[in-house]
Structure 1
């Protein structure tokens, strides 16, 4: 089902909300737990189903499933990104499936494991300028408060499948929240059982992409329903809040070559959805 929407900007006490989407497609029931999202062309995107090693190709214009390709046994599939004419699909425990174009669709070329200290790894995204695949862990490391405050974005070389020795980005939750406040964005808070007010945002990564227009990193948090935008030096650019009614559990993020941004959300008391936006460069 295709729903067309007008364009308007929304500002609330929490900061900047995304413009009303250009379109919103309801996805088939088999994709109610849609996960991962990557561009294929101006008119085609690919995604995964959370519990199955199935690659889906979707028509951007109406959300129709154009192709399905199984590449492995059932598992907790999370991240997906395209590199040239192939794909990398990520299982949450760090197992990566490399798919290549074949005569009849896509075939499994090989698998490898990412050796990260994190146990729940969700997002993949291709950084074409650097020629690396970005890796976004969802969980935070246990330990002292400084360790729990740290957020890191990793990457691997698609030619060697080796992790880069250092994170691509390393920043702190507290630092980002303070930069957001300094930019005039109100951070939502919650009250603890002891009566303290603490930030409600955790900024745990679900997906990551590079905006082809601004060259900024865009990091999706499904838990917070936010988009964190950072430049290549890790400096704060903006924080966007997503509409929970349209995107109850956003899990996938990608950009089309023309700069349009697409977000996929799992269904919650309804079908999964694919939403398209004009692009972050036009949002504020």
Structure 2
């Protein structure tokens, strides 16, 4: 498994910004979901989801240690599995017959044979350096779980604008010593400015307005076909797609009308993208976007 430093990623992104590659979009009309429905009140704080099959997902909410099995055709909860005490649970992903749940402090819960009445639960203290983690997904090609930091992962002013995604090796059950992905917000801002992507701006005294981007990751997922990394930043209302080497493929603002607070993302086998919104002062929602693959221009 290759580990990319932020310096290398920065070089790739700068190269992209200079126009050596043309980004072709996300494969979805992110502003117009093909299916939208309101989730039940018990999922008001929905914070993560993962696909099980073409009509079933598993999801969690960030207050209770419960896995909800949800039928997205009938729009109802099918089953519930209580796995732990109340806590701040932020991510869930399925690997075979095992469910993994991420708590914000970096603790991983391994829910073996989750459908069995004799299921086993294991807990792993990952030792991830960040105190606030929200993104979790499975990278099948590397057999690791990707864990995304919501803010900076390491103390120090020099890390203020860095965002990391670590790997949890499912063979060794250990965290990678270095991030698998690490992004520089200043490089992302330059890309946004060069591509004239419309995002909120911040005006510093005596300077020109610059893009206002925090990249506080709320959910991540690997696309089943392209293998690109999809990232949501609910705080920014931004949608990112990164290539396997960490370079930027696509950035797009999210409609505040459609996306109240995008906290979960996953994909079905056919490529359809599913996103869930936490309720806050509104209702929690489920959104489905049909996959429309695009060509790649050089």
TM-score (norm 1): 0.87
Higher strand share: 1
Shift in CA distance, 252/120, structure 1 to aligned 2, threshold 3 Å: same
CA shift in 2, pair 1:271/1:107, >3 Å = farther
Report the equivalent of 1:239.
Answer: 251
Residue 43 of structure 2 corresponds to which residue in structure 1? 31
State whether residues 101 and 107 of structure 1, in contact with CA within 8 Å, keep that contact through their aligned partners in structure 2. yes
> Please, which of 86, 104, 107 is the counterpart of residue 95 of structure 1?
107
CA distance in 1, matches of 2:283, 2:295: 27
Q: Paired residue for 2:156, among 116, 132, 143? A: 143
Tell me if the contact between 1:29 and 1:272 (Cα under 8 Å) persists in the aligned partners: yes
Task: Please report how far the alpha carbon of residue 62 of structure 1 lies from its aligned counterpart in structure 2 after TM superposition.
Answer: 3.9
1:229 corresponds, among 241, 266, 290, to: 241
Per-residue Cα deviation, 1:67-125 (whole angstroms, up to 9, x for no partner): 10000000011111111111100111111110022564683420011112210011100
Structure 2 alignment gaps of length 5 or more:
1-27
- Alignment partner, residue 204 of structure 1: 216
| Aligned mates of 2:183, 2:115 — CA distance in 1 | 43
Q: What residue in structure 1 maps to residue 80 of structure 2?
A: 68
TM-score by length of 2: 0.83
Check conservation: 1:80, 1:90, Cα contact below 8 A: yes
Give the deviation of 1:198 after TM superposition. Answer: 4.2
**After the TM superposition, which residues 115-134 of structure 1 pair with which residues of structure 2 at under 5 Å, given as runs?**
115-134=127-146
Matches within 5 A, 1:148-227: 148-191=160-203, 194=205, 197-227=209-239
- How far residue 214 of structure 1 moved from its aligned partner, in angstroms, is 1.7
The CA RMSD over aligned residues, in Å, is 2.2
Aligned length: 267
Q: Which residue of 2 aligns with 1:5?
A: none
Is the CA contact (8 Å cut-off) linking 2:31 and 2:254 kept in structure 1? no
Q: Distance in 1 between matches of 2:96 and 2:212?
A: 39
Q: Hey, what's the Cα distance between the residues in 2 that align with 1:195 and 1:31?
A: 46
Check conservation: 1:228, 1:239, Cα contact below 8 A: yes
Cα deviation, 1:28-71, whole Å, max 9, x if unaligned, reads 01000001111111111111011001000111224311110000
Map 1:252-267 onto structure 2 (within 5 A). Answer: 252-267=264-279
**Between 49-58 and 235-244, the greater mean CA deviation after superposition:** 235-244
Further displaced range: 210-219 or 50-59: 210-219
Cα 1:109–1:259 change in 2 (3 A) is: same
Larger mean CA deviation between 270-279 and 98-107 belongs to 98-107
Does the residue aligned with 1:262 lie in a helix, a strand or coil? strand
| Alpha-carbon distance in 1 for matches of 2:292, 2:249 | 11
Higher relative contact order (CA 8 A, sep 6+): 2
Partners of 2:113 and 2:120 within 8 A in 1: no
